[in-house]
A = this chain, B = another copy of it.
Amino acid sequence: MDEIITLDYGSGGKKTSRLIEDMLLPAFDNPALSQLGDGAVVDGGARLVFSTDSFVVDPIFFPGGDIGKLSVCGTVNDVSVCGGEAKYLSLSFIIEEGMKVSDLERIVASIAKTCQKAGVSVVTGDTKVVERGRGDKIYINTAGVGILRYEGLSPANIKPGDKVIVSGTVGDHGTAVMLSRSGMMEGEILSDCAPLNGLCEDILSSGEAVRVLRDPTRGGVATTLNEFVEGTKLSIALSEELVPVKDNVRAACDMLGLDPMYCANEGKLLAVVGEESAQRVLEIMQANEYGRDAAVIGTVTEDYAGKVYMNTAFGGKRILQKLTGAQLPRIC
């Protein structure tokens, strides 16, 4: 292979084949992928979960992860919070001419490692190359197909008195990427980027009263919770002192003028559960490697229809609206 990716690698001709055969097939070795047709034939199920995300994070390598790891976790998590057992990924690259082949190799290795950790397979893919200045090193799309295991998860199930649980500290990914971009405090804060399918399975297989799960990525915890109640008669009351935020994340957010409640997370889960199930679900989360710092952070109420608000440490109330504007462009 050459040292840099040229337009030839996106031609569909010999260099594209070389990339597939020398780098991609060995990394993602599995029977469906090696059929090498235009698509993969795989085992299905009666009901499926299907999700997609494109990843444009800048920089492509950041403390705690990289665009490859992120592109697997993001889609695995989206399938999992819908009640699906994530099984198959598609993987599509848009590479900027001039990208270092060694960087691509690192990303491909990271994708393969994360797939193994999450127990999913890349079964089909695509590579395009665009001219210098028409992209930014690499953009990755993954789509995920899972088999539906748990039906009926939906914000529509949320009831007054339900508890809101977050699986760990808030704002790590967004802060890690922003610091990495700014060059300040570099490497002190790690992205939380992680595959949460095991955590979702632990929670959902418990039979507890789980109303809805969601991974609060772009827009953060505040935006996701707003999506749960907007247009309804319900509100969500959070307690500021219960929201777990790492000290260095809080310090970095202060410095950068960010609010951790609006910073992207890539390895966190929000669960709304029946009051009677809150303690048990909390314990289940805390027993999982990705839920150790889980905490009940709020309650579903009926006092401010459609709103999310924070009971502050000083006894005040603060409405948390959906994110307005791009607090953090290209965070995922």
Residues of A within 8 A of B (CB): 6-8, 10-17, 35-56, 77-79, 81-84, 88, 90-94, 123-126, 128-131, 133-136, 139, 141, 143-148, 151, 153-154, 214-215, 217-219, 223, 227, 264, 322-330
Contacts A134-B136, A154-B35: A52 and B14 contacting too (C-beta < 8 A)? no
Within 8 Å CB of A45, what residues of B? 44
Inter-subunit contact B82/A325 (CB<8 Å): no
> Bound complex: CA of A296 vs CA of B332, how far in Å?
49
**13 A-B contacts (beta carbon < 8 Å):** A12-B217, A12-B218, A12-B219, A17-B322, A38-B77, A39-B84, A48-B145, A50-B143, A54-B126, A55-B128, A90-B143, A130-B329, A134-B136
Majority SS at the chain A contact face:
mixed
Contact of A13 among B47, B78, B219 (CB under 8 A): B219
Contacts A56-B94, A91-B52, A214-B38: A13 and B325 contacting too (C-beta < 8 A)? yes
Contact of A50 among B11, B15, B40, B148 (CB under 8 A): B40
Contacts A38-B215, A49-B40, A141-B54: A324 and B7 contacting too (C-beta < 8 A)? no
Chain B residue with minimal CB distance to A6? B326
Inter-subunit contact A51/B47 (CB<8 Å): no
Inter-subunit contact A41/B82 (CB<8 Å): yes
Interface centre among A43, A139, A328 (most CB of B within 10 A): A139
Within 8 Å CB of A131, what residues of B? 329-330
Interface centre among A7, A92, A131, A324 (most CB of B within 10 A): A92
Q: How far is the CB of A98 from chain B (nearest CB, A)?
A: 14
> Bound complex: CA of A322 vs CA of B40, how far in Å?
23
Inter-subunit contact A12/B154 (CB<8 Å): no
> Bound complex: CA of A44 vs CA of B124, how far in Å?
18
Inter-subunit contact B52/A139 (CB<8 Å): no
Interface centre among A44, A214, A219 (most CB of B within 10 A): A44
Within 8 Å CB of A135, what residues of B? 134-136
Chain B residue with minimal CB distance to A88? B50
Within 8 Å CB of A214, what residues of B? 37-38
Within 8 Å CB of A148, what residues of B? 41, 44
